Amino acid sequence: MPIPILMYHNVARAPRGLKVYRSLYVAPGAFARQLALLRRAGYRGLSMADAMPHLTGEQRGRVAVITLDDGYVDNLQHALPLLCEYGFTATCYVVSDALGSHNCWDADRLGIAKPIMSAGQLRAWHAAGMEVGAHSRSHPRLTGCGNPALRDEVRGSRHALEDVLGAPVRQFCYPYGDVDARVADAARDAGYIAATTTRRGRARPGMDLFQLPRVQVARHHWLLPFALRTLTAYEDRRA
């Protein structure tokens, strides 16, 4: 079966006055309704690690992968309790150099500094049974990095997060979905077992594990659009 890898950023209400990229926010109530829909449709919500047997074709069943980009504090505050309530797991892709800071890569463009989890908060996320993946050290466009910088961003973020968690970090997400063959090879060489993009569509067993597509979940995606994107071929036709 096709496997939707859902892409979230902030699980919180969009701040008043925010003019751009309000789509990055999904309200906690909407997130809860989406998880409930998945359960009613017979899907299990899984982290990337938990979904790997499905992505490789070793197991079958109705699963949806839940991923959250960047590592925002609201993922811990609002998403985690709901994930635990439904018995789901998720992967949070973290910008390692931003721990305890904010979204310095786009704060000026958005006009808002969004808090990133501290090391202690990230350990709390992991201790609750959730997965931590790497999202580079500083959130650059990786195709524009020279080879030394690329290795540092990809491999260095893994090592930094492993030092924080005391546990392996095996999943990677390309910032901005910016990937080519060289960048994918860098993720492979860094010891990750899979990496996700922002390319549209649902994943299927046999796909390149280092070029996995995702289904973006945005603020304006009410329950029907969410169901269409997640449970039907809607996104596949737009891949």
- pLDDT tens figures, 64-101: 999 999 999 999 999 999 999 999 999 999 999 999 99
On whether the pTM is more than 0.85, the answer is: yes
Q: Among positive and negative, which fits the CA dihedral 229, 235, 238, 239?
A: positive
Which tokens is 150 given? 């690329």
Q: What share of the chain is helix, strand, coil (3-state, %, to 5)?
A: 40, 20, 40
- pLDDT tens figures, 123-178: 999 999 999 999 999 999 999 999 999 999 999 999 999 999 999 999 999 999 99
Domains of the chain: 5-237 (3.20.20.370)
